[in-house]
Structure 1
Amino acid sequence: MKNFGITFFIFLVWSFFSLWLYSWLIPNNNIAINKNNVTNTSIVDDLNVATKEATENPLVKSTQINEITPIENTKTNTNSGLLLENEYGDAVFNFEESISYIKNSSELSIPESLKKFYKTIRTYLENNPNTEVHIISKYSAAENLETPNLGIKRGQQIADLLKNNNISKEKIVIKSIIDDLDFDVNDRYENAISFQFAILNKERIDALPAEFVSLPTKITFYPKFSSSGILKNDRLKETMERVSSIMKQYPGSRITIIGHTDDIGEHSDNYQKGLKFSEQVQKYFIAQGKISKNRIEAMSKGEIEPIDSNLTIKGRNINQRVEIQFR
């Protein structure tokens, strides 16, 4: 009987200890499980939120989604065509094809459809005389190290093309940019060149050596017309100041001011109208620009040299212009 009592007492002690140990362990396990559940749920929720925001907001798409996407899958080689932007980053022209090159080669490949892209640039510069063009030329850190670098060499090819097509070299700026480029399987990179127009940097031009500044071929000027002729405004003043500055740099230079019209009305009337335009500009340049009258000639071509269709209002406005030719 005594042994039974001792055995029963030991059983009670172990039972109590076991219950206490069990009650102590179970809450901690539940907490650990709950913590894991909260963590996993939080990751899923955060990922869902990031994905939803990236889908709904294109500004988020390029950041948060890329953080989830493996790095090796984020690089692209999309051909968006040759791009010309203004000083605000807005697209002025966007051609379907682009200028490309082969890795480690300084030679550019220009598609046939882009052979005359310089005309677009020249027209824009002529219509915006206080503007210069920046050639954005990309090259890769994975390419051969050369002096000057491949970006400059490629940009110089484009600069030479522009200069050979009557674009003043002082209005051309080459910007070489090193970037992480993704070449295709043939080691070709598209979109090697782009252009950005900017406000003319007169301080940069003034700092250029005299032999670098070239005499422009011509300036196309679109004055403000009225029933009495050309209005004297800031546009006319800016053109006069530019012409006067160029002629001071080239004391032996002369200019011919040519008036052009649309084809509305009689041929002879349009000739007289064009002559009236050019003579008004001539008188203004002499009086306000202090340019000797012996260096300025005024003439008219009337309607005979249109540069756009006379069938539309826009085309007729483009044809009605004044050209200032340097010689």
Structure 2
Amino acid sequence: MKNFLIAFSIFLVWAFFALWVYSWIMTPSAIASSGDTNNITSETELLHNTETDKKPIIENEIANTTNVQISEDTIASVNHIETNATGLRAVDDNNDIIFSFDEGISIIMNKKNVFIADSIADFKLKIKNYLEKHPNKEVHINSRYSANEDIENPNLGIQRGQKLKKILVTVGVPAEKIVVKSIIKSLEFDKNNTFKNAIAITFTTLDEERMANEIKKIKENAIVTVPESIIIYPNYSENGVLIDEKLESLAGEIRQRVLENPNLKISVVGHTDNDDNATENYRMGLIYAREVRWYLAGSTGVKIGNITAISKGELQPIRSNNTSNGRRLNKRIEIKFQ
């Protein structure tokens, strides 16, 4: 009997020890694998459903940026356009930032004009300088507009982009290297119906075939309407004429006209007031005209032989020289087209 009790006690000790070891070696993963699998299946299905739910949203975002209106000045590709970026930004093919401003180009709902703050006005020259340093590049104006705006043809995105294109041409950016494209996007206009981030700039590899077709189209379809003359009032120094935005704007307009009429001939006429004697005024008028002639020959593509410089001195005033305002208006440069 005594031996039986001893054996039974030993059995109970080993039994409790075995149960303790069993409970200790069980891990949460083992419990999970032996537990209810419905919860795991449910989580898997939820994850799958979440991914499925996201997919149409992504497709819609792509649709909103690639279904761009195709027109003569529109390209459908939207690579490297950061539609949520703030401020005016220009990037290249590798999405490297070429320049950026904290402030953007603004638009007003249902209006085709663009508004450029003085703080970002330098972007025009930055575009011009970049294209001059990279002749194998072209610039894309990505113009955003909203589906909630008025329906027009071409759409407001194209119209605003064209406005900006004209501004760039006036500072010397070649028109054939500017591509305008519209991007339809949900825009949040403020209480004044203004959106302050309407334009993005991209530089891409020059499409030489497109550029050749653009130049051909301009030459074939353009109606050559050369104005009789253009009058400008440049800034003067003691030694002559200063190169400023007025002359750059003039050069841009002449470049556009050369595309339409490659044989364009120009006369640059210098006029003065009567502050000095007639001989000196004639001499200064000729100096001014010659300086403008050389500037136009170097910046417009017009051959120097097709540009003449002459002086009228004080002989052809358009206002009385008896007032300071009249003298200011008489001291001018006249560009005559032939």
TM range (shorter): 0.3 to 0.5
In the superposition, the TM-score normalised over structure 2's length comes to 0.42
